[in-house]
Amino acid sequence: MIGTTGLVFNEPLLWELGAPGREAYSLPSREVPEHPVDPALTGPGPDFPDLSEPELVRHYTRLSQWNLSVDSSMYPLGSCTMKYNPKTNERQASLPGIANAHPLLPDDLAQGLLRLIFDLERWLAEITGLPAVSLQPAAGAQGELTGMLIFYAHHAALGRPRTKILIPDTAHGTNPASAALCGFTAVPVPSGPQGILTLQTVADRMDDDTAGIMVTNPNTLGLFEENIRQVADAVHAKGGLVYADGANMNAVLGVVDMGAMGVDVLHLNLHKTFSTPHGGGGPGAGPVCVTRALEPYLPVPRVAREGSRFTWRDDYPSSVGRLHAFYGNFGILTRAYSYILSLGAELARVSRLAVLNANYIQAGLKADYHLPHDRPCMHECVFTDKRQQAHKVSALDIAKRLIDYGFHPPTIYFPLVVNGALMIEPTESETKETLDQFIAALRAIAREAEQKPELLHQAPHHAKLRRLDEVTAARKPCLMG
């Protein structure tokens, strides 16, 4: 068991601290006189607590110690790709010439920044096999929305707006939600007995009113959609487009060519595959890569090269428009750029090791947990709680007990097509020793489930808090102090 107990501090809420008149901020010196203000417009200002700098530092340091994180432990959240976030990336994004740059600088004063965008777009095009890229979407779901806007624009340009979209039952919830924003009705497509799409189920549902299909490949069961090329052909034959959710790109860097696969639009999650930090829930970045044919629809503005000079351009009349006040989460783009420059073609090795790690976990746990699809997986493996249910132990109990062993739980109850799913994505960052400890922990938990199920029902025992009352939180919401 790598987890142990230690001294954890309690810490009040911000407004239970401080005293009026304290400050943790040093105001720049005043060099100007007061400027008259109309008292009819002024207000009392916000009712924030006043803290000193030491109080502030201790407050946030103590709070931080209540989190599990990639820096402290393995964080195998399936489909989230919680890999190591290189420290050097933070240094690069903080360089004054980057962090202090204003987004509306004249082009000639921002050549380094425009070059970064131009080069990162080219590299993502090389990595995905789709030649035209926009880095603007601020997260994966906004990338999906961009993709759906492109679908919409494409069909509208042909004079035949379509109303439906095919979405496999293994998809992330963001897929149908993004499609709905463009007025598309989601048509669910069941995956076949092998956990992947079959040509027939897609062909049966594809018609002249269907804009296309949204596919995650590898899918959320951690399986490669082997029929994707035929599926894409069937969709294209009816005039539809193929959208690929690149959430699971970490499995196939240097292996697949999304263009060859028949994909028209793909989004990437730079905070997954390209090592940018998850930050407790963002910021991320969700670049969109498309075929040449769809390039005119990409969001504006775009960076163009004119000789040795880079420039912003927004004269793309077919563009779906703008998605972000400026150019997306540029600071995140900088980190991904730094990551790609650190690895180069070794990115292919990233995927090989990510897939090896996942298969090693799958092999190590097969004897103790039910594996619905027993075949080599990609970067993640999906088990279920079926065997433990015999002892009235659920995926939730297993996840909570894993905390006591010092690991962040995997994704649970997703994908929805598997009952009691435990979706484990180790990433390439973990050593064999850590994986062995993780496997040993889950095997020990399987023994506990048989012998002492109440231990699991009550877990976690070593975290700062025990299980929280989520029902009351939702029934009587208290969202502000």
Please list every residue from 10 through 29 that binds another protein, using CB under 8 A. 11, 13-15, 18, 20-28
* Position among 1, 9, 88, 163 found at the interface with another protein (CB under 8 A): 88
Listed in sequence order, the residues at least 6 apart from 405 whose beta carbon sits closer than 8 Å to its beta carbon are 1, 2, 3, 441, 444, 445
How many CA atoms does the CB half-sphere of 63 hold within 13 Å? 10
* Position among 193, 345, 367, 374 found at the interface with another protein (CB under 8 A): 345
Cβ nearer to another protein, comparing 30 with 307: 30
Give the nearest distance from C-beta 239 to another protein in angstroms.
18
Please list every residue from 437 through 456 that binds another protein, using CB under 8 A. none
* Position among 9, 126, 309, 390 found at the interface with another protein (CB under 8 A): 126
Q: Is the dihedral of CA 51, 56, 60, 62 positive or negative?
A: negative
Binding of another protein by 144 (CB under 8 A): yes
The residue assigned the tokens 């894993």 is: 402
In the chain, the N- to C-terminal Cα span, in Å, equals 38
Binding of another protein by 467 (CB under 8 A): yes
- The whole-angstrom distance between residue 45's C-alpha and the CA centroid of its chain comes to 37
Please list every residue from 57 through 86 that binds another protein, using CB under 8 A. 57, 59-61, 63-72, 75, 77, 80, 82-86
From the list 236-244, 253-261, 382-390, 442-450, the region that binds another protein by CB under 8 A is 253-261
Structure tokens at 205: 């549902």
Residue (of 392, 401, 407) closest to 461 by Cα position: 401
Beta bridge partners of 188: 167
Rounded distance between C-alpha atoms, residue 190 and residue 168, angstroms = 6
Give the nearest distance from C-beta 259 to another protein in angstroms.
9
Please list every residue from 300 through 329 that binds another protein, using CB under 8 A. 320-329
Give the nearest distance from C-beta 390 to another protein in angstroms.
25
Give the nearest distance from C-beta 389 to another protein in angstroms.
21
Listed in sequence order, the residues at least 6 apart from 335 whose beta carbon sits closer than 8 Å to its beta carbon are 85, 89, 90, 92, 93, 270, 274, 275, 276, 277
From the list 226-234, 287-295, 381-389, 442-450, the region that binds another protein by CB under 8 A is 226-234
From the list 198-206, 219-227, 235-243, 387-395, the region that binds another protein by CB under 8 A is 219-227
Q: Is the dihedral of CA 316, 320, 325, 331 positive or negative?
A: negative
From the list 103-111, 200-208, 290-298, 385-393, the region that binds another protein by CB under 8 A is 103-111
From the list 238-246, 290-298, 441-449, 464-472, the region that binds another protein by CB under 8 A is 464-472
Q: Max Cα separation, the chain?
A: 76
Binding of another protein by 180 (CB under 8 A): yes
Does an H or E element contain 246, and which?
A: strand 241-246
From the list 47-55, 238-246, 383-391, 417-425, the region that binds another protein by CB under 8 A is 47-55
Structure tokens at 271: 């905070």
Instruction: Say if CB 285 and CB 309 are below 8 A apart.
Output: no
The residue assigned the tokens 């998850």 is: 278
Cβ nearer to another protein, comparing 234 with 350: 350
Structure tokens at 303: 């960076």
Binding of another protein by 195 (CB under 8 A): no
Cβ–Cβ contacts within 10 Å for residue 436, how many?
14
Binding of another protein by 214 (CB under 8 A): no
List the x/- string, 257-286, binding to another protein by CB under 8 A.
Answer: x--xx---------x---x-xxxxxxxx--
Q: Site size for another protein, by CB under 8 A?
A: 201
Q: How far is the CA of 423 from the CAs of 126, 198, 229, in angstroms?
A: 30, 23, 26
Secondary structure class of 290 (helix, strand, coil): strand
List the x/- string, 351-370, binding to another protein by CB under 8 A.
Answer: -xx-xxx-xx-xxx------
Instruction: Say if CB 114 and CB 311 are below 8 A apart.
Output: yes
Cβ nearer to another protein, comparing 26 with 451: 26
* Position among 1, 158, 160, 183 found at the interface with another protein (CB under 8 A): 183
Output b/e per residue, 36-60; b: 16+ Cβ within 10 A.
Answer: eeeeeeeeeeeeeeebeeebbeebe
Secondary structure class of 278 (helix, strand, coil): coil
Binding of another protein by 463 (CB under 8 A): yes
Binding of another protein by 159 (CB under 8 A): no
List the x/- string, 393-432, binding to another protein by CB under 8 A.
Answer: ------xx--x----xx-x--x-------------xxxxx
User: What are residue 165's phi and psi, to 5 degrees?
Assistant: -145, 140
From the list 238-246, 387-395, 448-456, 459-467, the region that binds another protein by CB under 8 A is 459-467
* Position among 6, 97, 159, 317 found at the interface with another protein (CB under 8 A): 97
* Position among 199, 203, 341, 444 found at the interface with another protein (CB under 8 A): 341
